[in-house]
Amino acid sequence: MLVLTVIALAVVTAVSITAVHGYRQLDTSSKATANRMASTAAGGTAGTAGTVVVTTAGLSPQQRADTRIRRDAVRDLELAAGIGSLLLLLLSAGVARVLSRRNQLTLATSRSVSTGNLDVRFEERSAGELTEQGIASRELVGYLNDAANCVQSVADGDLTVGFTPRSEHDVLGKALRDMVDRLRANAAIVDELAAGNVNVTVPVGTANDHVNTSFAAMVDYLRQRSDDAGRIATGDLSLDVDIRSSSDVFGMAFAEMVDHLSHRAAEARRIADGDLGVSVVPWSEKDELGSSLRRMVERLRTMIGEAITVASALNLASQQMSSMSADVGRGMEEIAGSIGELAAGAESQVRVLEEQRGQATDASMAVERSRMLTQGGLHAVMQASEAMTELDDSSRSITEAIQRLSDKTDQIGGFVGAVSNIADQTNLLALNAAIEAARAGDLGRGFAVVADEVRKLAEESQQATNTIASIVSEIQRETALTAEAIGQSVVRTTTGAQVVGEARDAFQLINDSVQESAERIAAIAGSADTVAAVATQSSASTQQVSAATEQTSASMEEMASSSADLARTAEQLRQITSTFSLERHGDLAGVIDLHKSHGRGRAG
């Protein structure tokens, strides 16, 4: 188009120069001809007034040549003017067409950009060349594409992109750069919030900065909720949760949580004060705290009831043990009296046997004195027989008393076993209570102390029962030994009685035959030695029985002391359990509904 315009301008210029040259020649000839014609007209005639008729008649050849030149010049001028006008018309049409097409392209580009479509192609005037308007439009579209790509990346969440303003007057570029920087700062604050750090500061630019103003309000709200959670974590339930609006679900949930925890704390205080009749109602199926607290109260109620039963059983057992120890003590006194009598009889028997031994010796030395000694011997034998009878009766009484003592110790062993089982059960209950208290955490700390005291009392009861069991076992062993010794004493007493009977018969036979008395004196002496040995052994056995009896009495005193300790332990356990109230209270559903309505009503 530029080349066509240059050619058209060159042709118009050439035609114009030719026309001007011809016009100058025509003007010179016209002036000469006019001068000649003026001189001719002065002497000639005219056809009509005011009208000059120029003809070639009478003109010279030079004039006629000038006339032709003039007509040719006029024709050339007209031709040049026509060609120039045609070329100008064509040039104007081409220029108008080019301008119209460019205006259409510019308008289409503007409309495409105004609708957000930046996918625009620019037509090149020649290979690799654009007009200045196209270059400017392409730069504008490229700038807008860069800005759109930056905005799209930001919209996709990519804040690593950046935008550099084209100049200091690039308002859009500066706005995009500031927007990306602010979004990066806000993203960093969001990362801190996501990491749990609520101690962040949100910069607010102007009063119209609605985004950061709302963001700062949100951070302040989270910081307040964090402070509330910190106070709750330290056990402070006296806070009043600020509910911002009726749509503050977070705040209402916080307020309801504080109400629930306060209610649970009140229930825990009542339990710590010994009120086990509180009725704990979980808020829902997932209320683990309420369910655990309810199970703890139920188990504590069961354990305290069992502890009360155990205390009553311990008290009854201690009373029975005291009664049994008193009975055993009285039995020991009877046994001691019988053993004293048995010892006296044994000493008397020893003295009699010594006398018999002397009499037998005298009889061997003097048969003549046998009759006289026989009377004395008969009398002594009768006394010995009576003593042996009394010894036999005493031995049997001792045997019966020892048998009763054995039965009593067996009964004591049974009661000791029962008390030991009760102590084991109490220790197990105390262990379970300690476990449940540990599960309850701080809420069960008060009852953990009670469970520990119950466990210590159970251990003391177990130690006392073990001591009693050991003493009873020792009594049973000593009783068995005593019974065995008494049995042997009975056998030997029977033997002694038989020997004394034989001696009595012998003394009767002495009256019949002195001769036989002399022969049997040796046998009587030997029998007297045997009886003396038996009597000595019987005396030693009675001493052993006496010592065992004294030891049994001491054991009974220890058992009585242990039963008193057991009674005191039972009384302590009763006093501890009496601090707990097992009476159930009414359902707290109304209280729960009141707390729930209170939590929801704060939003108003």
Give the pLDDT band of residue 467 (cuts 50, 70, 90): confident
Give the pLDDT band of residue 482 (cuts 50, 70, 90): confident
Give the pLDDT band of residue 128 (cuts 50, 70, 90): very low
Query: Given a cut of 70, is residue 119 above it in pLDDT?
Result: no
Question: Which one is predicted more confidently, 596 or 202?
Answer: 202
Q: CA 504, CA 385: separation in Å to the nearest integer? A: 9
Q: CA 278, CA 297: separation in Å to the nearest integer? A: 8
Which pLDDT does position 588 carry in this prediction? 42
Which pLDDT does position 528 carry in this prediction? 62
Query: Given a cut of 60, is residue 32 above it in pLDDT?
Result: no
Percent of the chain with pLDDT over 90: 0
User: Which residue matches tokens 């003809």?
Assistant: 55
Which pLDDT does position 316 carry in this prediction? 76
- Residue length of the chain: 604
Q: CA 451, CA 455: separation in Å to the nearest integer? A: 6
Average pLDDT over every residue of 173-197:
79
Query: Given a cut of 60, is residue 601 above it in pLDDT?
Result: no
The residues that bridge with 581 in the sheet, in sequence order, are 275
User: Which residue matches tokens 């080019």?
Assistant: 98
Q: CA 401, CA 84: separation in Å to the nearest integer? A: 169
Tokens of 420: 């030991």
Tokens of 17: 């120069």
Q: CA 317, CA 296: separation in Å to the nearest integer? A: 30
Taking residue 524's Cβ as centre, other Cβ atoms within 10 Å add up to 24
Query: Given a cut of 60, is residue 25 above it in pLDDT?
Result: no
Tokens of 481: 């030994």
Query: Given a cut of 80, is residue 253 above it in pLDDT?
Result: yes
Question: Which one is predicted more confidently, 112 or 388?
Answer: 388
The region of weakest confidence among 10-24, 133-147, 495-509, 543-557 is: 10-24
Which pLDDT does position 549 carry in this prediction? 67
Do 441 and 292 touch, CB atoms closer than 8 A? no
Which pLDDT does position 149 carry in this prediction? 79
Task: Identify the three-state secondary structure at position 485.
Answer: helix
Which pLDDT does position 30 carry in this prediction? 55
241-250 pLDDT, tens digit per residue, is 777 777 778 7
Which pLDDT does position 313 carry in this prediction? 74
Helices (H) and strands (E) in the chain, counts: 11, 0
Taking residue 12's Cβ as centre, other Cβ atoms within 10 Å add up to 18
Task: Identify the three-state secondary structure at position 144.
Answer: helix
Percent of the chain with pLDDT over 70: 48
Distance in angstroms between the alpha carbons of the first and the last residue of the chain: 80
Average pLDDT over every residue of 348-371:
64
Distances (CA, A) of 232 to 8, 126, 380: 95, 79, 102
Q: CA 176, CA 145: separation in Å to the nearest integer? A: 13
User: What are the respective helix, strand and coil percentages of the chain, to the nearest 5?
Assistant: 80, 0, 20
518-555 pLDDT, tens digit per residue, is 566 666 666 666 766 766 676 666 666 667 667 766 76
Phi, psi angle pair for 47, to nearest 5°? -70, -50
Question: Which one is predicted more confidently, 306 or 380?
Answer: 306
Query: Given a cut of 50, is residue 12 above it in pLDDT?
Result: yes
